[in-house]
Structure 1
Amino acid sequence: MNRISKTKLNDLLIKDFSAESANLIRPFIPYLLYGSLPVNATSASYRYLHTILSSRNYTHKEFLQKISPDCESQLLRCKIHGQIQPCNALFRRVETQNGFCCAFNFDDVINGNQTAEELNIHNNRFGYKWGLTVLLDPQVEDYYASRNKFAGYQIYARSATDFISINQPNEMVFAGSEIHVHITPGLTQAAAAVKWHDLHLRRCYLPKERKLLIFDVYSQQNCFAECRSRRMVKICGCVPPLWPRAHNWTVCTLLQASCVMSQIDTVMRTIHHSGKDFKLNPKAERYICKCYPKCEFLMYKTDFDAATLDRNYSINAPDFYRGIKLKNHLVVHAFYADMCNDYMRLDVHYQLLNYFGLFGGITGLYMGYSFISGFEIVFFLIVLPLGNLLTRISKRRQATTKQTELKKSQLPMRK
């Protein structure tokens, strides 16, 4: 939850700035996080901070990278598949809209470039003994800028190809806790009948049906992230530093921060209304940029439970905790909760034949009606009277013709 390391910030200010400049710039440092934390700054403050950083040849992103907490000092010990392994071999520091995160099994591809080395760590067992266990030091004394008034972390359990955005669901865990993350994967596959329907009816994308400009792998979260960046470029002419962007999109400086902050609420929407009657018409709502989910996808359902971390009455895993004096530390266990997962099928619920059967079944149940009865009703009310009428008309014509011929035959013949 800490976005700026107090130690790193002090070291950088001492190294690259004079004492007078450091004292002047220090109150403006939290304004660097305008894209991820609620800050209240004026345009003049942003311009002043931009001038100070530019005088030392720092860009917004470069300065933020140097003062953000790292993963090496916080991830103290890791265990995977029951074996202790170095944390730097399992985790990578990656960019997200929330700041810099420590990611496990992150293999997203942005603009054709692999953002981190794919680890290819898989697991076919369940239970926390065979999952991932991480011992973390939140470094409470190093907090400088945080959204909350407590120390801890935000945990995101997501697909390996999803970009982590600001409004993505997460779980907050606090210092001095032991957390179990129960993961239940769910696989959804589409039936053959789904692909025959138009996009606006099925509201999901088939494999390779939708391609993105920035991300090589389509997902609804990636589509939202790209759409928001595209809208920000259209409004402010640039993209905030930690947002995904295309090669030819300009990165925002602190001079555009006021524009970004004024438009952030509008840009972060996922659904917009196409009509004034959206409260009465459910079809009036549609996703921005048509960011529908995939028809076939893998979703991870997570359940969290937490307890106080106390080693006084425990003798398990002595090697894992050896040499570490627990104070404000956290332990996170992430594992598959069960040997089975959820398997769902996306199919067409009602077709034309279903509607015929539904109509016949309901009317037969409540009215004693069937399709044969319907044909009989049509026959007796329309076909039979019409046939009788045509028969009478035909007989009248025949009788009239016979009378005319008879009269002609009785006329006297003249010589």
Structure 2
Amino acid sequence: MAFKKRHIFDLRVVQSQQHMSKSLEGHRNSNSTATFSVLSHGHSRRRFKYYQLRLIWNWFTESLRNYCQTTSLHGFSYITRQDISRNERFFWLFVVLSAIIASISLVLVSLYANRETPTVTVIESSHFPTWNIPFPAVTICNFNKISKTKALNLMRNMQLPPNVTNEHLQQLFNLTLLPVGNTISNDSLQIYDNILNMNNITLTELSKQLSPDCLEMISRCIWKGINTRCESLFQRIMTLEGTCCSFNYFAALTNNFPTKIAYQVPKRPYRVTGCGYPTGLSVLLDPMVADYYGTFFSGFGFRLLIHNSHNFPDENAESKVVTSTRESFVRINPESTYATRDIQRMDLKWRNCLFGNERKLDGLRRYSFINCMFECRMRMTLEICGCLPAYVANNGTFKVCGVLHLNCIIESKRLYSRALANLGASLSRVRRTTSFPCDCLPDCESNLYVSESTMGRLEVNYSSRRSSSSSQTDSILVHVFFSDLMSTRYRMEIFQNWLSALASFGGLLGLILGFSIVTAFEFVYFLTFRPIFNYINRDRD
């Protein structure tokens, strides 16, 4: 029986298996090598970055150590000294850090104070010549607002509707005064309006026809010791008190002087070169006692309003009262304030004031805080009543208030006495407000005319040559003049300009740290120039 031969192992199979196992092992080895190479490469990058940071840190600490050893700043050298203990070095480090924090805090406080008070007004001189300050405007307002002679003549010539008596007409004449007091019934206002419509006359024209004439009130004028025609000095203007006569008034865009003397009117306010009443304005006033018809005062006389020539005469003006049979001396002590060029270049939100040519007003020549407030009140009246009072300059685009608007004018006039008239605010709100009403900023430059007056009995013989129908003892003589050749001048300037700010900051930093511009340059030098120089020198070596 034959047996089949069987090989213990097949060489070809073994070789193929060995080759396969080697290939698998090689693949495993290659994968493990690749993985190891990737891990080693990432670790090397991290080590390289750490090495770079380490170099930068070492360079920075070395430069800072060298700076502390060589700088002139107080206390820095003790931080890096090796001959003292570590606790002492930490102590000096605490002292230096505290000084740095304190100096920075004081600098910030100084900056905050500069922002809170960007401008300051100081006395520049108490011997400023008064001839450099314009003479003030002098506005004369009669106590009597209606001429009795004119009222009686007009009353006889006016037509009246049926069932209307002369008493109604008399009440209508009284309404030409400044509307004050209680409101008037609508029925009465309608009667007064019918009277004016029947006679084809407006309330403004009626007020002009009934008010006394300036030439009748002012009998004699002396300017700088020279007798001058009063009509060339005084012009008729409308004020809150009605019709008045004003000298040296340049607030309005146009004047009311007669055409025949227009060439004599100066283009700018008058000035004087001396002091005392012979160098100022002297006027002889006639109160026309027999012509009194309607007045707010119990006596006979005039009210003087002394104000800036470019300001509207309102209640803010210096006010003096002169009565009959008296001679009054009104002494003026002017004060002038001007702003430096730094103020002019300063931003408006920081200086918080305006110059006369920086904002235009309607009907007034120059900007001032007083003129702006007056315009604001008139604009408020226009919004409430839909018209403007007769004493406001009107270019014809706005309606002029008539008789039917008197109650509205009376109501709006009551708001004038409030600090924030446009807001109708109470006193508690005024105390909390931080802005000016109506966006009216104060004046950067202004002239203030502080006055004081004395009076005595007028000598009767002085006015003996005066041609007037009233009694000689009713005359009033007024002298308005500068009391001294010198005055006080104020200067408005920046609280801290760049030079004073540099001195302030340098003083604070120098007091605490001994800081100077050279030490600041030293710090920059040790961080920039010195490493560059060291690198260049190393390459040469």
TM-score grouping bracket, smaller chain normalisation: 0.7 to 0.9
Show the counterpart of 2:76.
none
The answer to whether the 8 A contact 1:191-1:347 is kept is yes
Measured in 2, the distance between the counterparts of 1:41 and 1:213 equals 31
Question: Structure 1 residues 169, 271: CA separation in 2 closer, same or farther (over 3 Å shift)?
Answer: farther
Show the counterpart of 1:119.
265
Q: 1:252 aligns with which of 376, 398, 401?
A: 401
The answer to whether the 8 A contact 1:176-1:308 is kept is yes
Moved more, 297-306 or 274-283: 274-283
Show the counterpart of 1:27.
171
Measured in 1, the distance between the counterparts of 2:404 and 2:289 equals 32
The answer to whether the 8 A contact 1:132-1:335 is kept is yes
Show the counterpart of 1:344.
490
The answer to whether the 8 A contact 1:360-1:371 is kept is no
Is 1:105 the counterpart of 2:248? The answer is yes
Unpaired runs of 5+ residues, structure 2, are 1-142, 517-541
State the shift of 1:280 in Å: 9.2
The answer to whether the 8 A contact 1:232-1:267 is kept is no
Is 1:7 the counterpart of 2:156? The answer is no
The answer to whether the 8 A contact 1:272-1:287 is kept is no
Measured in 1, the distance between the counterparts of 2:421 and 2:160 equals 49
Show the counterpart of 1:195.
344
Structure with the largest fraction of helix: 2
Deviations 1:367-404 (A, max 9, x none): xx9412899xxxxxxxxxxxxxxxxxxxxxxxxxxxxx
The answer to whether the 8 A contact 1:9-1:67 is kept is yes
State the shift of 1:202 in Å: 2.4
The answer to whether the 8 A contact 1:273-1:286 is kept is no
Equivalent AA in structure 2 for residue 329 of structure 1: S
The answer to whether the 8 A contact 2:335-2:487 is kept is yes
Moved more, 225-234 or 267-276: 267-276
State the shift of 1:246 in Å: 4.3
Show the counterpart of 2:414.
265
Deviations 1:69-104 (A, max 9, x none): 111112111112222222222211111121111111
Deviations 1:26-61 (A, max 9, x none): 1332122243x4465222222211111111001001
The answer to whether the 8 A contact 1:231-1:267 is kept is no
Is 1:295 the counterpart of 2:421? The answer is no
The answer to whether the 8 A contact 1:273-1:284 is kept is no
Measured in 2, the distance between the counterparts of 1:92 and 1:354 equals 50
The aligned runs of 1:118-197 (5 Å cut-off) are 119-120=265-266, 121-166=270-315, 168-197=317-346
State the shift of 1:355 in Å: 7.8
Q: 1:93 aligns with which of 236, 243, 248?
A: 236
Question: Structure 1 residues 247, 172: CA separation in 2 closer, same or farther (over 3 Å shift)?
Answer: same
Is 1:371 the counterpart of 2:512? The answer is yes
Deviations 1:206-225 (A, max 9, x none): 35222213222212222122
Question: Structure 1 residues 280, 138: CA separation in 2 closer, same or farther (over 3 Å shift)?
Answer: closer
Q: 2:216 aligns with which of 73, 81, 92?
A: 73
The answer to whether the 8 A contact 2:318-2:449 is kept is no
The answer to whether the 8 A contact 2:217-2:287 is kept is yes
Question: Structure 1 residues 82, 195: CA separation in 2 closer, same or farther (over 3 Å shift)?
Answer: closer
Is 1:328 the counterpart of 2:471? The answer is no
Aligned residues: 361
Equivalent AA in structure 1 for residue 242 of structure 2: G
Is 1:243 the counterpart of 2:392? The answer is yes
Equivalent AA in structure 1 for residue 409 of structure 2: V
The answer to whether the 8 A contact 2:306-2:449 is kept is yes
TM-score normalised by structure 1 residue count: 0.76
TM-score normalised by structure 2 residue count: 0.60
Question: Structure 1 residues 115, 268: CA separation in 2 closer, same or farther (over 3 Å shift)?
Answer: farther
- Where 1:235 maps in the other structure, the secondary structure is helix
State the shift of 1:344 in Å: 1.1
- Where 2:481 maps in the other structure, the secondary structure is strand
Unpaired runs of 5+ residues, structure 1, are 313-317, 376-415
Equivalent AA in structure 1 for residue 188 of structure 2: S
Q: 2:456 aligns with which of 292, 296, 307?
A: 307
State the shift of 1:16 in Å: 2.5
Show the counterpart of 2:26.
none
Show the counterpart of 2:377.
228
State the shift of 1:17 in Å: 3.6
Deviations 1:137-172 (A, max 9, x none): 111222121111111111011122222235544212
Larger Rg: 2
- Where 1:33 maps in the other structure, the secondary structure is coil
Please give the root-mean-square deviation of Cα atoms over the aligned residues, in Å.
3.3
The answer to whether the 8 A contact 1:90-1:104 is kept is yes
The answer to whether the 8 A contact 2:422-2:437 is kept is no
Is 1:83 the counterpart of 2:229? The answer is no
